[in-house]
Amino acid sequence: MGTIHLFRKPQRSFFGKLLQEFRLVAADRRSWKILLFGAINVLCTGFLLMWCSSTNSIALTAYTYLTIFDLFSLITCLISYWVMMRRPSAAYSFGFERLEVLAVFASTVLAQLGALFILKESAERFLEQPEIHTGRLLVGTFVALSFNLFTMLSIRNKPFAYVSEAASTSWLQEHVADLSRSLCGIIPGLSSIFLPRMNPFVLIDLAGALALCITYMLIEIKQHHLMLLVSWIN
Burial 108-136 (b: 16+ CB within 10 A, else e): eeebeebeeebeeeeeeeeeeeeebeeeb
Q: Residue 98: which pLDDT band, with cuts at 50, 70 and 90?
A: confident
CB-based contacts of 16: which residues, under 8 Å, 6+ apart?
Answer: none
For residue 56, is it left (φ>0), alpha (ψ between -120 and 50) or beta? left
Evaluate whether residue 108 is within a structural domain: yes
Rounded Cα–Cα distance for residues 105 and 100 (Å): 9
Task: Tell me if 184 is assigned to some domain.
Answer: no
Is 3 inside any structural domain? Answer: no
- Give the tens place of pLDDT for each residue, 146-191: 888 888 888 887 887 787 777 777 767 677 666 767 776 676 666 6
Examine residue 137 and state whether it is found in any structural domain, yes or no: yes
Share of the chain above pLDDT 70, in %: 71
Stretch (H or E) spanning 70: helix 58-85
Q: What is the total count of domains within the chain?
A: 1
Provide mean pLDDT across the span 119-143.
84
| Residue at 172 is within a domain | no
pLDDT band at 204 (very low <50, low <70, confident <90, very high): confident
Structure confidence by residue, pLDDT tens digits, 39-91: 999 999 999 999 888 888 888 889 999 999 989 988 888 888 887 776 666 65
On whether residue 25 sits in a domain, the answer given is yes
94 falls within a domain: yes
- Scanning the chain, the segments in alpha helix (DSSP H) are 14-26, 32-55, 58-85, 97-127, 137-154, 158-166, 171-186, 191-194, 200-233
Q: Residue 62: which domain range?
A: 15-165
pLDDT at 126: 82
Q: What is the pLDDT of residue 116?
A: 92
Could you tell me if residue 2 is inside a domain?
Answer: no
